[in-house]
Amino acid sequence: MRLAVPFLFLGLPLLPQTEDPVIRVDVDLRQVDFVVTDAKGQHVNDLRPEDFLLLEDGKPQKLTNFSWIEVTPPPTGARLKALQERPTLWEKYTGVVSFKKTPGNDILAAPVANPHKEEIRRTIVFVINDTSVPVMDRVRKFIDEQVAPGDMISVRSTRRSVVPGPGGTATIRDSMGIFQEFTNDKRQLDAATERVPRTCDFLNQCVTDVPGALIAAIQSLGNVPGRKAVVFVGGYRGPVNNVVNMANRAGVVINVLNPAGTPMNPMEEGFPGAEPAVDLAKYTGGRWLLTEPGFAMTADLNEVMEDLSGYYLLGYHPASQDTDRAPGKTARPKIEMKVLREGLIVHARNGYIGAPDLVTKTTPPKAGREEALTDAMFSAFTADGIRVHLDPLFFASPLDPKTGKRHPIVRAVLDIDGRDLTYTELEDGGRKMVLDVALAVFNVDGTQAGAKNQTFTVIVPREKVAKFATFAKLSPQYHVDIPLSKPGPYQVRTAVRDGASREIGSSYAFLEIPDFNQRKISLSSLMLSLPAGTASVPSLRPEWNEFAPGNSVQFQSEVFGLRTPGKPPVPPDVDAEVRLYRGGGPVLDIPASAARIANNGNQSFLSGSVQIPNDLPAGNYAMEVIAYDRLAPPKAQTAIQWIDLTVLRPEIAR
């Protein structure tokens, strides 16, 4: 038995995120993080405590804790080769970025898996001040090639949108919308780099707030896990002390890359007398690099990423009175790190991580339904107290008789693992389960395009309790259709909560919906299934896009904009290619072949199948379908759609 219940939501305004109070523990232990390089910039990770001298306000301190933290394993194989890549002659002399199908480069090479908090290794915010096309091409190349599965990335701009309001008022908000949120989804990150605001003009009213964007980036990193860093791209002229103190308290490293190339005058960064950008990096343990928007910038970004791959962490108990608590003194102690081995360079912040607050704050419990669901929905990380699978499909509405156009619709399909739900016993011997569900679709600017929520109750009568053991394992499926006003990027977020156990599950996904009204081929979401009559392996869930080696997986998508010229019109002529991708690049490539086009009234559907090899390793994959309309002109001939799938062997299936 399978519950297939559409959402019957009541309108619940989603609550905005609020900053949680921070619990500070008043202890004497202070911690300092830093990296050490040799004269060639190579990392040194074999040092011992006796190789360092730490000074607090000029006084030597005794080290009580010392360790090397490896954030990510050293690069090997193809990823190391990509780091050691040298520019081609064409790239060297033209500056044109070379995007290649290298491991980790293709946006479909790493299927999206919503990360859990304990899986995060590095959390990085790109704050973009120089938005020129050559610079953004380098940022995108870096993200495509070097962002790893354990990384969470946010892309922000120093420009903020000015939104007109009623009565001549105006609201200033972050211009990146959904793109400023942390993600490991390279599709969303690529879309973010393409949409960084480049100009402020009459049509695009905005203000440039460099310090504000930098401070907001640091604040966003306050309670996230992993090695935390800001990569500021562009020139910086702004306050230093306040920003450095905020970064040090949050354990954030600031790296500054100025793509200006060779300074034109002695007042540029890097020269005595003008060091705001240099100081931001120097006093937070980061790098300041004067680079240029070419291959040198790619190399410099790789150097920054290497710095974030491992670091030393030491602790000490201050020998003197706690200077933060000294009467009348508010300044933080000055920390100096010196390495005693000759020829090595220390990159360390000028303070310790965090600081005790004068007043201890407590966090009130968040037991309320709305608060719990909202917190889970807006978190950068998924909660897995309840295992959920979000499959946000998109398709087109019927033709509007007034406009003759179609509008996109998101169909959010949510599968919930019944094994994680709690049934309580009723007085009459029956069973009861209460499930709270919330779902929202967000526009590119971060506003809601639609939001639904419901408390759903399942009652098992006493006379059916005998079959309860089987019933309790069933996975309910919910779905809801949300009409949208226009194509483009969207984000779908959902959270579910068990009313009895208070356990939470959450998931989110990024969508790029094509324009179904354009005069070129386009595809709706792909849907996967097993052929009719095929027995599914009990431990696998095809509805979660889980399949076994050897399965023949069918795909189907509605197709729009097909060319059928002539009177009477000729039948459509469509070829399709299917590829499977994994983190190492394409693993399966099926050559172009005639695709099946079926008509149902005024709708057309493209379908086909792919055989999963018996020797294909288990893991997460992405399936890409490329459709070619052979009757269309070259520029309108191709449409691409993808879907994530998981290959599991029955003996290791969940």
Q: Residue holding tokens 């007043």?
A: 359
Residue 223 phi, psi (nearest 5): -120, 25
| pLDDT value at residue 204 | 67
Structural contact between residues 37 and 469, judged by C-beta atoms closer than 8 angstroms: no
Q: Is residue 172 part of a domain?
A: yes
Q: How far apart are the first and last CA of the chain?
A: 20
Lowest mean pLDDT among 238-252, 366-380, 552-566: 366-380
Same domain, 653 and 574: yes
Exposure of 57 in the CB half-sphere (CA atoms within 13 A): 10
In a domain, 61, yes or no: no
Tell me the C-alpha distance between 561 and 633, whole Å. 12
Q: Looking at the domain assignment, is residue 499 inside a domain? A: yes
Indicate the pLDDT class of residue 632, thresholds 50, 70 and 90. very high
Given a cut of 60, whether residue 424 has pLDDT beyond it is yes
- Determine, yes or no, domain membership for 352: no
> What pTM was estimated for this model as a whole?
0.80
- Output the domain CATH number for residue 286: 3.40.50.410
Specify the number of domains making up the chain: 3
Look at 592 and 116; give whichever has higher pLDDT.
116
- The pLDDT of residue 602 is 78
Please give the residue that has the higher pLDDT: either 473 or 148: 148
pLDDT tens string 56-66: 988 999 999 89
Q: Quick one: 247 and 378 in the same domain?
A: no
* Mean pLDDT, rounded, for 565-587: 79
Indicate whether 294 and 373 sit together in one domain: no
Looking at residues 532-549, what average pLDDT do you find? Answer: 82
The answer as to whether 426 is a domain residue is: yes
Q: pLDDT by residue (tens digit) across 480-521?
A: 899 999 999 999 999 999 999 999 999 999 999 999 999 899
- DSSP 8-class letter at 428: T
pLDDT higher than 50, residue 325: no
Q: Rounded mean pLDDT of the chain?
A: 80
The pLDDT value given to residue 333 = 81
pLDDT-wise least confident of 233-247, 252-266, 315-329, 600-614: 315-329
Residue 441 pLDDT > 90: yes
Mark which of 515, 550, 576 sits at the end of a domain.
Answer: 515
> What pLDDT, on the 0 to 100 scale, is given for residue 82?
62
Q: Give strand pairing partners of 608.
A: 555
Please give the pLDDT value at position 263.
52
Within 13 Å of residue 346, how many CA atoms lie on the same side as its CB? 22
617 or 174: whose pLDDT is higher? Answer: 617
Say whether both 464 and 609 belong to one domain.
Answer: no
pLDDT for residue 36: 93
Question: Do 608 and 508 contact (CB within 8 A), yes or no?
Answer: no
How far is 278 from 244, CA to CA, in rounded Å? 11
- Domain shared by 121 and 180, yes or no: yes
List the CATH number of the domain containing 500: 2.60.40.10
Q: From its phi and psi, is residue 41 left (phi > 0), alpha (psi between -120 and 50) or beta?
A: left
* Model pLDDT, residue 419: 87
* Rounded Cα gap, residues 358 and 229, in angstroms: 27
* Structural domain range at position 16: 1-20+366-515
Question: Is the model's pLDDT at 559 over the cut of 80?
Answer: yes
pLDDT at 412 over 70: yes
In this structure, what token pair is assigned to residue 299?
A: 């190399």
Domain endpoint, select from 259, 279, 308:
308
- The answer on 229 and 112 residing in a single domain is yes
* The amino acid at 379: S
Q: Which of 92, 89, 83, 85 is nearest to 294 (CA)?
A: 92
Peptide bond into 568 cis (omega under 30): yes
Selected residue with higher pLDDT from 15 and 168: 168
Which of these ranges, 94-108, 185-199, 532-546, 604-618, has the smallest mean pLDDT?
94-108
Q: Per-residue pLDDT averaged across 542-560, rounded?
A: 89
Percent helix, strand and coil across the chain, each rounded to 5?
20, 35, 45
- We report the CATH number of the domain holding residue 584 as 2.70.50.60
Position 7 pLDDT exceeds 70: no
Residue 38 maps to a domain: no
pLDDT of amino acid 145: 76
> Would you say residue 45 lies in a domain?
no
Q: Helix count (H) and strand count (E) of the chain?
A: 10, 34
Dist. CA 114–CA 112, nearest whole Å: 6
Q: How far apart are CA 110 and CA 621, in angstroms?
A: 7
Separation of alpha carbons 646 and 616, rounded Å? 11
Q: Collapsing DSSP states into helix, strand and coil, what is residue 217?
A: helix
Give dist(CA 434, CA 436) in Å, integer.
7
pLDDT at 262: 60
- pLDDT band at residue 367, thresholds of 50, 70 and 90? low
Confidence at 4, pLDDT banded by 50, 70, 90: very low
Residues 499 and 526 in one domain: no
Q: pLDDT tens across 381-409, in order? A: 888 899 898 889 999 998 888 888 999 99
pLDDT of residue 274: 47
Beta strands in 443-573 (DSSP E): 448-460, 477-483, 488-498, 504-513, 522-523, 527-529, 546-547, 552-560
DSSP 536-560: PPTT--GGGTEE-TT-EEEEEEEEE
pLDDT of residue 365: 45
Contact (Cβ atoms closer than 8 angstroms) between residue 176 and residue 157: yes
How far is C-alpha 138 from the geometric centre of its chain's CA atoms?
A: 19
User: What's the average model confidence in pLDDT over 100-104?
Assistant: 43
Q: Are residues 544 and 499 in the same domain?
A: no
